Amino acid sequence: MAVETAPEGARRTGAAIDAFTAPVRAIVFDMDGLLLNTEVLVREGLRLAGPEVGIALSEAVCQLMIGVPADACRRLLLEHFGADAPADQLLAAAARQLHRQVDAGLLQTKSGAFELLDYLDRHHIPRALATSSARDKTLRHLGAAGLAGSFSITVTRDDVSRGKPFPDLYQEAASRLGVPPHQCLALEDSYNGVRAAAAAGMPVVMVPDLLPPTPEMRQFCQAILPDLHAVLALLQRQRGFAAMADDSRNRSCVAGTGIA
């Protein structure tokens, strides 16, 4: 089965980054599986949607769809089940199942999310969201999770020509922040997300959700941490990080991208 892979530059860039050799001036967050438990809900939605359209989705196929935008998921399904497979119907049914779970109050923020965002607020550290989800879904889920307004810069799949594992989302986020990619820290949970951030030239911290870390991920990542509390502790240990963030805020405000 053909699966989207990261550009060759991702491996070269990811291998070259070492322990915050450049000052970290901004944070770029993934959303699904990193801030929100949506990957678990999506997997359950796919499981429930399969019988509706007559497709038996294995756990392996569901795993391949983690961190993959909808257009790439459609291609993956057609490659796996054949050109006549009801891929669009399956994705639509899965979306309905996801909405039902969100409406039932099953959407949750991941442990440490609010504490990390509060820390960034207090230290005036610029941040952005770079997600494979569409904009309407992104705003709906952020609102349902109590995170509406948490990101003044939100880059979605609707804003770029290519989704993860390509670097476009992270490059656009860095551009809107006004910070070079190598001075942004990306937070990711999925393989494709890590590949995308590394291809953009960003140091990456992986916080695994449904996908366990692999040797490839360890090559790309600065660290692999158990939750966002551990990410917060990592940032707090970085000497001078808050001072660098204050300097970044002053520069960003001049450019009109500071977080008030």
Residue 48 shares a structural domain with residue 127 = no
Using CA atoms, how far residue 117 sits from 12, 27, 29, 123, 232, in Å, is: 31, 10, 10, 10, 9
Q: Is the pTM of this model over 0.95?
A: no
Residue 248 shares a structural domain with residue 155 = yes
Residue 68: predicted pLDDT: 81
Residue 42 shares a structural domain with residue 32 = no
The answer to whether residue 1 is domain-embedded is: no
- Interval 2-28: pLDDT, tens: 334 444 444 433 333 345 667 889 999
Which pairs from 82-88 meet CB under 8 Å and 24+ separation? 85/55, 86/53, 86/54, 86/55
- Domain extent, residue 210, equals 8-15+23-37+108-252
Last residue of a domain, one of 78, 103, 128: 103
* Beta bridge partners of residue 29, listed in sequence order: 129, 187
Query: What residues are labeled active site?
Result: 30, 32
Distance CA 197, CA 26 (A): 13
- Interval 55-93: pLDDT, tens: 888 888 888 888 788 888 999 999 989 999 999 999 999
Distance CA 45, CA 92 (A): 10
The answer to whether residue 50 is domain-embedded is: yes
Closest CA to 210 of 230, 188, 179, 231: 188
Residues of the chain with pLDDT under 70: 1-21, 239-260
Domain total in the chain: 2
Spatial contact of 151 and 57, defined as CB atoms under 8 Å apart: no
CATH number of residue 224's parent domain: 3.40.50.1000
